[in-house]
């Protein structure tokens, strides 16, 4: 599996790693640069987040928030388009990878680790999007034959999985089968083989093994009941049935002993059927409990909270990429192109921190260009603005974000009361 863009270090750790390579007299200045860069990234993501959260409020209104007017069907359709577009973009910026349909189908076909059989009912689902981040191989010891046998299973696990599901608008909607609206959730530590458990319309079904465990004892005990308790009353019931349908003309004499035998047989049959039904029901309840426990302990966020998580992750990813791009360009011993810079960063993390990832050099270069901190010649050789000047330019960008005209200044009219 190809390496991901995600760098499994916090922003503060990346800042510390870069600062640790600098001379002591440059470290404080570099840390100030990093703080300015992070503040600007947070501001940009905050402005963007306000727009997408406003749109999400229309498609999935919060119960404790009032509105001044009711959204129309057109409003909901437009808002949903904004939500889906921003979700895809933010997921990519936060280093999530879209899980394609063939990968999901493969996961459904493979043996799961939950020891339950799940089926997805997708008739009410209009749009499904899964995203993953942090893929790693795992092993787990699985017990079978009541713990007498153990085997080691190898599987792929995702550190985080993002799920977006939009439901079809239906006039006959019920509370159990939702209509319209969207569902947005984030989970952690999800085995690839268990992706189906993240669907809201998943249903627990009995596995073949469970059917055997219930069915075989049921048949054996049924034969025992038939031989010991129903045999005496079975003949009487056959005679009564034959008389009622007209096959037998001679009436059946029902004395006290016959009635006791008949009711005893019927009671034994009813008790036997109830026990088998209870076993089936208890087995299914156990499976549902297993599913709910998996979802409860893996759930990281729901609804608008997922967007808050994505916005923070996207801002942090932008800062890490930009900071690494600037640091390695500024400290390079020889001129670097984009491809060379990409290779230097990846090799540095692999050599010093045993970390493999696909550095998104284009994202870092794009941000440096926007902030006017990058130099580039006609041959594609890159360079970074000196640290003092870079801080000055960041400070100017920050001031311009909140630039307010001063009344009385040149070209700015004064307001009289």
Backbone angles phi, psi at 96, to 5 degrees: -85, 150
Residue 219: predicted pLDDT = 55
Token readout for 61 is 């209104």
Q: What is the mean pLDDT of each run of 10 residues along the chain (417 residues)?
A: 86 95 94 95 90 92 84 89 94 93 75 58 82 85 62 81 86 54 90 80 59 54 54 57 60 55 61 64 63 76 93 95 97 93 96 93 95 92 95 91 62 49
**Cα(279)–Cα(272) distance, integer angstroms:** 11
Backbone angles phi, psi at 326, to 5 degrees: -65, -45
**Cα(102)–Cα(184) distance, integer angstroms:** 21
The answer to whether 1 and 310 have CB atoms below 8 angstroms apart is no
Residue 180: predicted pLDDT = 67
- Cβ burial, residue 236 (10 Å; 0-12/13-18/19+): middle
The answer to whether 155 and 138 have CB atoms below 8 angstroms apart is yes
**Cα(288)–Cα(204) distance, integer angstroms:** 7
Number of helices (H), then strands (E), in the chain? 11, 9
Q: Identify the bridge partners of residue 132 per DSSP, sorted by sequence position.
A: 97, 161
Delimit the domains of the chain by residue range.
Answer: 11-58+304-401, 96-205, 208-287
What contacts 156, CB < 8 A, 6 or more positions away? 1, 135, 136, 137, 138, 191, 192
Report the CATH fold assignment for 11-58+304-401. Arc Repressor Mutant, subunit A (1.10.10)
Residue 415: predicted pLDDT = 47
List, in sequence order, the alpha helices (H) in 299-373: 304-330, 338-353, 361-370
Residue 96: predicted pLDDT = 96
The answer to whether 157 and 123 have CB atoms below 8 angstroms apart is no
């Amino acid at each position: 599996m190809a390496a991901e863009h995600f760098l499994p270090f916090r922003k503060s750790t990346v800042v510390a790693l870069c600062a640790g390579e600098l001379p002591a007299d440059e470290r404080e200045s570099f840390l100030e640069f990093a703080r300015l860069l992070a503040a600007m990234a947070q501001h940009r993501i905050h402005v963007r987040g306000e727009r997408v959260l406003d749109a999400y409020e229309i498609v999935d209104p919060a119960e404790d928030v009032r509105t001044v007017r009711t959204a129309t069907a057109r409003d909901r359709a437009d808002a949903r388009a904004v939500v889906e577009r921003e979700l895809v973009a933010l997921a990519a910026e936060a280093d999530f990878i879209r899980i394609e349909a063939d990968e999901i189908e493969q996961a459904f076909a493979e043996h799961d680790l939950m020891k339950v059989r799940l089926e997805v009912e997708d008739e009410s689902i209009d749009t499904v999007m899964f995203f993953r981040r942090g893929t790693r191989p795992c092993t787990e010891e699985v017990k079978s034959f009541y713990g007498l046998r153990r085997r080691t299973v190898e599987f792929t696990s995702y550190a985080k999985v993002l799920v977006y599901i939009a439901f079809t608008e239906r006039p006959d909607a019920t509370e159990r089968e939702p209509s319209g609206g969207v569902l947005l959730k984030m989970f952690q530590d999800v085995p690839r083989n268990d992706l189906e458990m993240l669907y809201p319309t998943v249903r627990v079904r009995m596995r073949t093994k469970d059917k055997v465990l219930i069915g075989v004892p049921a048949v054996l005990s049924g034969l025992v009941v038939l031989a010991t308790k129903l045999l005496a009353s079975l003949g009487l019931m056959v005679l009564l049935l034959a008389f009622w349908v007209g096959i037998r003309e001679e009436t059946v004499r029902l004395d006290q002993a016959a009635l006791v035998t008949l009711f005893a047989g019927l009671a034994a049959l009813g008790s036997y059927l109830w026990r088998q039904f209870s076993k089936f029901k208890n087995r299914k309840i156990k499976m549902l409990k297993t599913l709910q426990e998996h979802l409860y302990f893996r759930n990281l966020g729901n609804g608008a909270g997922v967007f808050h998580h994505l916005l923070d992750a996207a801002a942090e990813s932008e800062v890490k990429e930009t900071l690494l791009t600037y640091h390695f360009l500024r400290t390079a011993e020889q001129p670097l192109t984009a491809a060379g810079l990409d290779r230097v960063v990846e090799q540095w993390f692999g050599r010093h921190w045993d970390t493999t990832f696909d550095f998104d050099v284009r994202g870092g270069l794009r941000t440096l260009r926007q902030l006017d901190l990058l130099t580039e010649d006609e041959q594609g050789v890159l360079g970074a603005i000196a640290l003092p000047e870079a801080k000055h330019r960041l400070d100017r960008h920050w001031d311009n974000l909140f630039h307010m005209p001063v009344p009385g200044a040149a070209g700015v009219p004064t307001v009289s009361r």
